Every structure is written in C-alpha cells, then in structure tokens.
Amino acid sequence: MAIFTGAGVAIVTPMNQDGLVNYDKLGEIIEFQIANHTDSIIITGTTGEASTLSEEEHVECIRFAVDKVAKRIPVIAGTGSNCTHTAIYLTQEAEKAGADGALVVTPYYNKATQKGLVQHFTKIAQNTSLPMVLYSVQSRTGVNIMPQTVAELFHSCENIVAVKEASGNISQVADILQMTQGDIDIYSGNDDQIVPILSLGGKGVISVLSNICPQETHDIVAKFMEGDMVGSRELQLKMLPLIHALFCEVNPIPVKTAMNLMGMEVGPLRLPMTPMEEANKARLIQAMKDMGIPLK
C-alpha cells in the first residue's frame, strides 16, 4: 500500500529574519496545506533547505511536523545525507518522532558508484522499519540511481517501497516500472511531469508547486485518478508557465519568494542561497498574476 497517493508538498522551512527556524509559521503553512487538500507533508527535503539545517534543527522540524499534522495526512521526513551514518541517525530519529516514511536522497558530492548506492540505501533500510522513498535527482547530487539499481534495492529490501523520480527522463521511469513489475510506487519529482508519470502508473507527485497552489496540484492527480485524464492534462498544461517560473532559479529561491509575495512571510533563505534576481522575480510575479494568485 502506497504511503500516499496524490500531491505531497515538499514544504519550505520558514525562517525568522535572524535565520532561525520559524516554527509558528511552519505550523501555519502546514495548516494551509491541509486545508487545501494536500495529500502528504514532506518535511526537511531539498525545498526545506535541509542541507543547511543543523542535525538538531533537522530532527526538531520533523518532530514539529509530525506533532502538528497529528496523523491527519502522512508525513514523510527527508533524512538523506552524503554520510551513511548520518542518514541512518536522521531516519531513526524520524521513526522515533512518528513519521510515516523517509525520503532518502542519493549521497551528494561523494558521487557514489551504483554499488555504493546499493550498500548505502541497504544499510539505511536495515536500520529502520519506516517505508523508504529513494530520491533520484542527479541535477542536485551528481549521481543517478539507475533502473537496475532501483530494482535490486526494491527486491532485496522490503521497506524500500517507492522512488521520487526527478531525473527528468521518462524512459528511465518506464524502465524502473518494467523492472519492478509495476510494483514500486513512483512519485514525480518534477512538477512539469506529473501527468506523464501518472500515465505510466505513478502514484502522484512530491511537489514544489504545492507550496503556493496546493489545491490545483492535488487536482491534477485527483482528476487523473478519477479517470478525467483530459481535465488533468489541461490543468497540468495551464500550470506550466508558473512551474517554469518557480524553477528559473535554483529551488527553493523562487518558491520562497513567491510565498513572501503572497504575504505568507516565510522569511529569508540561508546562505549560500541568495535573494532572487530582479529580472527573474519580475517573471515570477507575472506568472503568478497570470494565474490569478493574489499578491500582497
């Protein structure tokens, strides 16, 4: 059984002006997401600036999200690291906190071999009972999880149950599903590929777009699952200009900018992330206006 079906939000980590985590605001945006039918909260992922959180902050954000959500929808904790030992620690802490699953990204900077990836993910899986979602995003980490590697891990580790596929390669998604007999759950890691991945048998999306348009992102998946493929496709295509604007600079710079423009007051980014360039900000503002998103 899938951890969730639908649109899960890769939620931002709001900051105070002093750069510390703003837990009050995190609680507000979690409630906003649930009220607008988001199907899962994915905390401390790439969009949540996990790479610049201390281990203490990382764990506290997971605990806070689990407590705030209170089992209304699943909470998946980003627990990946380029250190296997650290990834095990974060995953075990997420399990203790009551998370419903762990999203584990490929080790970044190390550029592990496929053999190294097998050993890394296997070791984590052996040290937790949480369902694990592998996160393949070569553009951020420098290494791709090959379909054969995904299949090997899926068949050898019973709690590796899903993949967040952000390679951008639809053929790779098809190969993964073929090699796992369609039994592994796949979530799109790219907001512009939700419908293509659903058409191959995907379960939904782990979405940046959902931070500002949770209902619409939910509806793209819900319509498809209900058999309204035309409506799903039309909504996917309608959202494309906004999606492109949200990725015209490295994530999460644009989405945090967008949320602040909406008056959500999620605060600044942590270095080395910097404020959005003015030309790109103007593009983002226009895309939001075109979608009828009210700006403050």
Q: 124 and 91 in contact (C-beta within 8 Å)? A: yes
> Position of tokens 């058409």?
199
238 is catalytic: no
Q: Choose, from 25, 68, 135, 203, the residue flagged as catalytic.
A: 135
The continuous run of DSSP H or E covering 200 comes out as: none
Listed in sequence order, the residues at least 6 apart from 252 whose beta carbon sits closer than 8 Å to its beta carbon are 12, 46, 47, 48, 49, 208, 269, 273
| Structure tokens given for 230 | 């035309």
- Between CA 14 and CA 24 the distance in angstroms is 9
d(Cα 247, Cα 50) in Å, to the nearest integer? 18
d(CA 268, CA 260): 9
Active-site hit among 25, 68, 164, 281: 164
Active site annotation includes 135? yes
Residues with active-site annotation: 135, 164
